[in-house]
Structure 1
Amino acid sequence: MSKSNLSFIILLAVGYAFWKWLDYLALPNTFTILLILLTVLCGVLWCYHRFVVLPKRTRQVIRQEQRTGKTLTNEEKLQIEPISETSEMLSSLFPVLAFVLILRSFLFEPFQIPSGSMEPTLRVGDFLLVEKYAYGIKDPVFQNTIIETGKPQRGDVVVFKAPKEPNIDYIKRVVGIPGDRVFYNEATRQLTLVYNKEGKPCNYSCDVKHFSYSDPKEDDNFGIIIGQERDGSPIYSDEKPLVLTETGDVEHLIHWDPQIPNATYMYQAYANQENYVTEWVVPEGNYFMMGDNRNHSSDSRFWGFVPEKNIVGRAAYIWLSLDKKQGQWPTGIRTERLFTTIK
């Protein structure tokens, strides 16, 4: 085994061990940190080769050709100030890594739908593009806003770091923005919003939005997961979810279970709860999120509000959709969902 191959294997082993260590720390941006470090390493090598080794090689080639009176072949030139294969390969990756880092950190980030919490709007097997710049240009590690470009709006579908598990990305719909009072009736499954006044909770002469709903119908394209097999594959109920249109700040489809559950005892961070109606007052700098699959979504009703700093970006487009169910292999491609806008 050559030295270059051995060096490359050692580098991969060190990188993998570092990756697992970062995963163990449960940091919110493990992949980004690794990408930055690798880009810096490759960038240092690229600069060293470009501005030190290659000029030095050129000078020595000129001297050698003047001394011998003949033109050196490309093979002979490479023997002067030689560069190891590993070092050359890493430096050649720098332009690609730098492009990917800038694209992923400030413009677009890919995201895959892992569960059915946003059905029927988003399906398991959908691959999305998330607009990172929609709510501000942020530094890629600490997520501090560098340039303000906008704020999440009611009805936006956003990707964010889960408040209690910042190393995991969630995707939900924004229901309430700072200062809004959110009311959810568990018995009727209806939403009501009391809009904020200048970012503060409103208590008089308020604008109130009562969400409206179409007649629910069975959705034969989906199933209701009621458990898991020992191998992790989902167990589906014989019933089908109900699909209906919810009209609030935006109009979109949602799912309800045929049977109305009572999950109010699990709701957290609420201001008031009475007769199945729960009220939340969204704090400053936070947002209230809900999944479109209302009876199968872990969202702000259960674990509270999402700080603005946790928001990754707005889910904008579906660029690929594999025909699959949760825990199963794909069986095809949903061509009708390719390159569609998320609403």
Structure 2
Amino acid sequence: MNYKFWQKKKDTAPKKKKSKGREWTDAIIFAVVAATIIRVFFIEAYTIPSGSMERSLLIGDFLFVSKVNYGARIPMTPVAFPFAHHTMPLTGTKAYWDGVQWKYRRLPGLQDIKRNDVVVFNFPEGDTVALEAQDGNYYQMVMQSNRQAVHASYTIVSRPVDKRENFIKRCIAIAGDTISMVDGLAIVNGKKTPLVGTGGFSYLVEFKSDDINVGLFQEQGFKVSQVSQTGWQFEGTPDMIATLKKSEYVKSVQEMLTQKDSYDQAIFPHDPNRRWNLDNYGPIIVPKKGWTVKLDSNTMPMYERSIRIYEGNKLEKVGADWVINGKKATEYTFKMDYYWMMGDNRHQSADSRYWGFVPEDHIVGKALFIWMSFDNEGSWFSKIRWSRIFKGIH
């Protein structure tokens, strides 16, 4: 047989056409792979579920989170169902398999985390979860009750780092900073850092008369609730309160703060020797990679969890000594950078004041801009907050 003739006939033979089912399957697989790559390495959508970041971010805001700015984190739990975070939407079962775990690695980023960046991260204390407790923090629940009671009442599961709940807060202090709070005002490295035009605080407002139309103040953006005949609790920014004080109807305005030396067990590091609370605590040094801390009764309440859980060491107390990975230790050098995150709505935010430092391997990305926003009142069309669409996050 003539070889050239046979080869030409073979090349010109009509190719078998793909079936419609095969075409749809190939298209779906391509779309899933492409979307997963974009979501993991470039940008991801996020929804604001709570009011902890008001006035900066509102419940119902939909925003994009950049993975590029800080460098995309390589998946630590690679075997997972696409587009599901930790739970399957219909069955409620796990959306991942933690039988394979990769060590923490991150691609080079465009920038380091800066103070006042709005950051999305995995909840540090989300390693252990009481499933039926909705938004309940397992460790806070154990503190308020006891371990046996919590385990008897709830299904307790553990989650790897990248499958823990996503939180969004403002980075108040970066690795190496010293953070404290006095009368509700954050102090970083000895410098007062008030929130300008963003953070919400609570104030007790006394009016000269009980004949007050509070609806007018609500239209100005205040959250208002009555506490006495002429007294009201107002939530708003310091700038809003400064304007309110000028009103001829206002008798007095007093910020609602927890008194100094009033101990709150829920506040990190949950140490009765530190009389700390929501508005008054610290100073605390935020761990930095390469920083060495002395191990003693003063430092360990603040850094024990970071050394044991976040950095994966076997840490034991033997008599008066600390033993790390089988060796007696009097100091420890941190392997990662850490951050201190707080909500702008300071009195309605579960943040680092309650659960401490955020390790660098928990960082997801930087919040960029709002692409859609819905209010929960009004008709479908009026629910859209048009002024917030494509609004940058600062």
Which of the five TM-score ranges fits, normalised by the shorter chain?
0.5 to 0.7
8 A Cα contact 2:118 2:366, kept in partner: yes
CA contact (8 A) 1:323 1:330 kept: no
The alignment status of 1:209 with 2:204, answered yes or no, reads: no
Q: Report the equivalent of 1:306.
A: 358
Is 2:384 the counterpart of 1:333?
yes
Q: Is the 8 A contact 2:225 2:233 kept in 1?
A: no
Gap change, CA 1:341 and 1:222, over 3 Å in 2: same
- Residue 184 in structure 1 maps to residue 181 in structure 2: yes
CA contact (8 A) 2:121 2:363 kept: yes
- Aligned partner of 1:112 among 47, 50, 57: 47
Aligned mate of 2:234, from 231, 236, 240: 240
Q: 2:282 aligns with which of 278, 285, 288?
A: 278
Read off the aligned partner of 1:282 and give its amino acid letter.
Answer: V
Identity, % of aligned pairs? Answer: 31
Residue 314 of structure 1: CA displacement?
A: 0.5
**8 A contact 1:213–1:245 mirrored in 2:** no
Letter in 1 for 2:52: S
Q: Which amino acid aligns with 2:180?
A: F
Q: Which residue of 2 aligns with 1:62?
A: 13
Deviation at 1:101, TM superposition (A): 1.8
Given that 1:269 and 1:280 are in contact with CA atoms closer than 8 Å, whether structure 2 keeps it comes out as no
Give the structure 2 partner of residue 32 of structure 1. none
Matched, 1:292 2:274: no
Query: Is it true that 1:102 corresponds to 2:37 in the alignment?
Result: yes
CA shift, 1:258, in A, is 5.1
Provide the C-alpha distance between the structure 2 equivalents of 1:99 and 1:224, rounded to a whole number of angstroms: 47
In structure 2, the gaps of 5 or more residues are 1-8, 78-103, 127-162, 206-216, 227-231, 241-253, 289-336
In the TM superposition, residue 333 of structure 1 has moved relative to its aligned partner by: 0.7
5+ unaligned residues in a row in structure 1: which ranges? 1-57, 65-76, 195-207, 227-237, 247-256
1:335 Cα deviation after fit: 0.6
Report the equivalent of 1:193: 188
Amino acid of the residue matched to residue 124 of structure 2?
A: P
Q: Deviations over 1:189-222 (max 9, x none)?
A: 111111xxxxxxxxxxxxx312246798887235
- Deviation at residue 297 of structure 1 after TM alignment: 0.4
1:90 counterpart residue number: 25
Aligned to 1:137, the other structure's residue is in SS state coil
CA contact (8 A) 1:178 1:286 kept: yes
* Maintained 8 Å contact 1:111/1:130: yes
Aligned CA distance change for structure 1 residues 336 and 171 (closer, same or farther; 3 Å): same
Letter in 2 for 1:182: I
Structure with more relative contact order (C-alpha pairs < 8 Å, separation 6 or more):
2
Contact 2:195–2:344 (8 Å) recurs in 1: no
Cα distance, 1:134–1:126 mapped onto 2, change above 3 Å = same
- Quote how far apart the aligned CAs of 1:340 are: 0.8
Q: Secondary structure at the match of 2:348?
A: coil
CA distance in 2, matches of 1:280, 1:245: 29
CA contact (8 A) 2:68 2:110 kept: yes
Q: Aligned-pair distance for 1:176?
A: 0.8
Q: 1:336 to 1:279 in 2, by over 3 A?
A: same
Which of the numbers 161, 164, 171 marks the counterpart of 1:167? 164
Letter paired with 1:150: Q
Q: CA RMSD in A?
A: 3.7
Residue equivalent to 1:155: 116
Q: Which amino acid aligns with 2:338?
A: N
Other-structure match for 1:13: none
Which SS does the other structure have where 1:173 is aligned? strand
Cα displacement string for residues 163-190 of structure 1 (whole angstroms, at most 9, x for unaligned residues): 11152100000011111110112xx211
Determine the structure 2 residue equivalent to 1:223. Answer: 223
Give the TM-score taking structure 2 as reference length. Answer: 0.52
Provide, for residues 136-188 of structure 1, a one-character-per-residue CA deviation record: whole Å limited to 9, x for no partner.
13213455213243221100000000011152100000011111110112xx2
Opposite residue 144 of structure 1, the aligned amino acid is R
Instruction: Kindly tell me the number of residue pairs found equivalent between the two proteins.
Output: 234
Structure 1 pair 107–214 and aligned structure 2 pair: CA distance change class (3 A): closer
Match of 1:67 in 2: none
Higher relative helix content: 1
User: Residue 317 and residue 304 in structure 1: after superposition, are their counterparts in 2 closer, same or farther (change >3 A)?
Assistant: same
The CA distance in 1 between the partners of 2:170 and 2:283, in whole Å, is 18
| Paired residues of 2:225 and 2:234 also in contact (CA < 8 A) | no
Question: Within 1, Cα distance between the matches of 2:224 and 2:26?
Answer: 50
